[in-house]
Structure 1
């Protein structure tokens, strides 16, 4: 049940955002969860590590589910996402931050690429 104004705002934002914005929101969530998982490893807080790395995996599964396989790049992205999930499982099982840091770097790069593509697409639409 949504009770706070902040939660209502977030819910409204989620329901009214264009697909490109939703994609960026997913990346933001995955990035936040991976960072918190890395922080948990550094602190020796394995519950925090497990919780957040599992949340990051769930977000990456959502990114995979959002792929449109009508485009050839979707297969490549699917393989990248699968690798990221594998690395997050590895980081979580071994409590090793290196695989999680690798995933974080990929997520940051992909988020930047999607953000740039989204801005380019919006600029082209505005010029029509």
Structure 2
């Protein structure tokens, strides 16, 4: 039987827009990378491995759900694959510096999607374009 809390969380997630769900995944990726850095610094190799693999899974999921009919999807496909490759290298080498570099990209990507979601929700992009970008 599912607990009331699990039902609540599931309903909360399914009521989010696709953009909001994407942002949650990207936030989780950033959290996992931060935790993996901590694990490496504390010599918790197993913990770092598990967190890195979970983060790779997020990017694999994002790749699997790209709509390749949009030109930007090809760029995102390349970016997500780059992230996976770097995560794999960090995992093999247990290299916190690689993770720090990836974290910067992951955080920037998350912030970009947050801004895009906000603009889509508020219609600010259309208003900005209509006023000549002013």
Report the TM-score, using the length of structure 1 for normalisation.
0.91
The 3-state SS of whatever aligns with 2:123 is helix
1:73-112 mapped onto 2 (5 Å cutoff): 73-112=72-111
**Structure-2 separation of matches of 1:33 and 1:77:** 20
1:1-128 paired onto structure 2 within 5 Å: 2-3=2-3, 5=5, 7-124=6-123
Scaled by the length of structure 2, what TM-score is found?
A: 0.87
Q: Which region of structure 1 is more displaced relative to structure 2, 116-125 or 74-83?
A: 116-125
Q: Distance in 1 between matches of 2:33 and 2:50?
A: 10
Please provide the CA RMSD for this pair: 1.8
Runs of 4+ in 1 over 6 A off after TM superposition: none
2: distance between equivalents of 1:94 and 1:105?
Answer: 19
> Aligned to 2:37, what secondary structure does the other structure show?
helix
Question: In 2, distance between residues paired with 1:38 and 1:10?
Answer: 28
Query: What's the CA shift for 1:119?
Result: 0.5
Displacement of 1:4 after TM fit? 5.2
Equivalenced residues, count: 126
Equivalent residue of 1:70, what SS? coil
Name the CA distance, whole Å, in 2 between partners of 1:91 and 1:42.
13
Report deviation, 1:88. Answer: 0.6
